[in-house]
Amino acid sequence: MVSMPAGTIGRMRPESSPPQRPWDPALEELARAIVRGGGAAALTGAGISVASGIPDFRSPRGLWSRFDPMEYATIEAFRADPEKVWRFLRELERIVRGARPNAAHRALAALEEQGWLEGIATQNVDGLHQAAGSRRVIELHGSGRALVCLGCGRRYPAAERAGLGDPPRCRCGRILKPDAVLFGEMLPLGAYERALALVRGVPVLLVIGTSAAVYPVAELPREARAAGALVCEFNLEPTELTGGVAQLTIRGPADRTLPALLEAVARRSRGS
C-alpha cells in the first residue's frame, strides 16, 4: 500500500546514490540549522517512494489516471461495493509488492541512527521507512500490514491474505478492508496528535514528497512554522508551501537530495 491523501483517507552508503548538488546553498543552510538546532523531524508523502517504483498517485502513470479516487478510494465506495474497490486494491498491492527502500528512505534512517532525526510522520502505508531501518515512524494513514473487517472488527495480518480468498473475506463472511485510510475515514486514533507533538518540538521540519495541500495533515508544516521551526520542503515542483510556510526549498528527486543532506550534515557536524 502507499499513501492516500491526508485527512480523509543500516546506515546510508554514500556510494549507493551519488549526492546531488552537495554545495547547494539551501542544502548547506539546512544542514547548518539541523546541526545547530540539534535535530529535525520529517513529514513524508508519496514522492519519497517514487524511486522505489511506486508512482505518485497523481502522476501521469499514477493510479488516479486509471481509477477515479471518488469511485474506488472512498469508504462509502468500499461499503457499497467492496468487490469493485478491490480491483483498485489488487493493482495497488501489485505495485507495492516488489518495492524496496530507496536512497531517500535510507538517508532518513541514517539521520535517525546518528541522532539528527527525532522521527517521521508519513502519509505512506508502504512500510518502506521501517524497512530502511527507521524506528520512530508515525503512520498517519494506517498501514498495509493488516486487514480489518468493518462488520465484526476482526483483524488479520496481511501475511495471511492469500488464504483468505480473493477478495479476502472475514470468518463472518464480510469482505475485508486493508488497514489503510480511505477518503472519508478518520485517521488512526492518536496518530495526528503524536505527529503534531513531534513537529512542534523540533527546530527543523523536512517536508518530503508531499504537496501538503489536504487537511488535517496539511496543518503540520504550518504548526511547525508557528512553533518556530525552520520548514524545508523537498519536492520536484512548487507546492502551496513554497515561498510561504517553507522558508527553504530543495528541488530534485528525494533519492538524490536526501543523501546530499546526509553528507552535508556529516560535514557540518565534523566542523568542516
Residues annotated as catalytic are 141
- For residues 182 and 6, what is the distance between their CA atoms, to the nearest angstrom? 9
State how far the Cα of 82 lies from the Cα of 85, in Å rounded to an integer.
Answer: 5
Within 13 Å, how many C-alpha atoms sit on residue 125's CB side? 28
The answer to whether 121 and 140 are in contact (CB under 8 A) is yes
50: helix, strand or coil: helix
What's the CA gap between 230 and 212, in Å, rounded? 16
Q: Is residue 238 reached through a cis peptide bond, with omega within 30 degrees of 0 on the bond before it?
A: no
Reading phi first (left if > 0) and then psi (alpha if -120 to 50, else beta), residue 76 is in alpha
